[in-house]
Amino acid sequence: MFRIGGDLEVGRLGFGAMHLAVDPGPGRENSLAVARRAVELGVTLIDTAYMYGMGGNEELLAEALHPYPDGVLVTTKVGVARSGASSEWKLDARPAALREQVEQALRRLRVERIELLQLHRLDPRTPLADQIGTLRDLRAEGKIGRIGLSEVTVEELGRAREIVDIASVQNRYNLLDREHEPVLEACEAAGIAFLPWRTVAWGKSGARAEIAAVAAEADATPTQVALAWLLGHSPVLLPIPGTSRIAHLEENLAAERLHLTGAQRLRLDGLSDRDGGDALRGGGEQS
């Protein structure tokens, strides 16, 4: 278990809802079943965002889970929007835009307060003090419980923490891509939850001989090895692997019971691609 912000207790292995289909039809029915199965299996941390289906993912989770069971945290993200002319996603963390996005998220999730709200990206066109200050004000108004950031540097995290307490960081991070190790170290020092996305390197884990070898030794899958490595790498890591299949969901969650030996961890510690890449994404991915 981990206490986000020092008081909000969640299980360390969560669920990223990004891949859940939201359009009417069999795909949506399957998505509802996956979300409900995640909670049945003990997941208490579920990650979504306005960007996932322009709010449709939030509405899907509310349909599947509301009224939310005790202890279940649905965290969402704001700070991106569709541009009117091209319909492309753009960063938009102006104070008025953030306020409107939070109000809409409250409505879609059917809650009066979002216990953990994360800024999907810092908006370079808006002063950081205005972005973080607006979230601080919304927290003071009772619409946000805790504030998180996504895809930030150590320096940006430090500047934000001068304005308000930061409860979580959601950066790309996995066994093969540790570009943000310095950010993880900063989070660990401060007790800040680190929610890695792209947790299994988009399926590349199984292609690495060392990972495949460890998986064979442990009678596990490469995905489970990658997730178990994350859980043991730092106590503040809260992986949020995502999937649209119940079988994958069950495979992912079984990683919490996988014990890697010290020798196996040492072999895995030496692996890293630093493969970069920063699309406007978030949430955990499943191969």
Supply the pLDDT for residue 215. 96
Supply the pLDDT for residue 282. 43
Supply the pLDDT for residue 25. 96
Domains of the chain: 2-269 (3.20.20.100)
- Give the neighbor-by-neighbor strand order of the sheet with 144-150: 15-16, 45-47, 73-78, 114-119, 144-150, 168-170, 193-194
Place of tokens 């310095």: 182
Alpha carbons within 13 angstroms on the beta-carbon side of residue 253 total 22
For residues 279 and 258, give the distance between their C-alpha atoms in angstroms, rounded to a whole number: 31
The 10 Å CB-count burial string (b at 16+, else e) for 10-28 is bbbbbbbbbbbbbeeeeeb
Residues 222-246: pLDDT tens digits? Answer: 999 999 999 999 999 999 999 999 9
Residues 187-227: pLDDT tens digits? Answer: 999 999 999 999 986 566 667 899 999 999 999 999 999 99
Q: Are 145 and 73 in contact (CB under 8 A)?
A: no
107, amino acid identity: R
Spans in the chain with pLDDT lower than 50: 274-287
For residues 75 and 10, give the distance between their C-alpha atoms in angstroms, rounded to a whole number: 12
Question: Active-site residue numbers?
Answer: 52
For residues 193 and 24, give the distance between their C-alpha atoms in angstroms, rounded to a whole number: 35
Residue 246: both structure tokens together? 């119940």
Residue 29: both structure tokens together? 């029915």
Q: Are 226 and 177 in contact (CB under 8 A)?
A: no
pTM score, whole prediction: 0.93
For residues 46 and 23, give the distance between their C-alpha atoms in angstroms, rounded to a whole number: 20
4, amino acid identity: I
For residues 109 and 58, give the distance between their C-alpha atoms in angstroms, rounded to a whole number: 6
3-state secondary structure 196-263: CECCCHHHHHHHCHHHHHHHHHHCCCHHHHHHHHHHHHCCCECCCCECCCHHHHHHHHHHHHCCCCHH
Supply the pLDDT for residue 270. 92
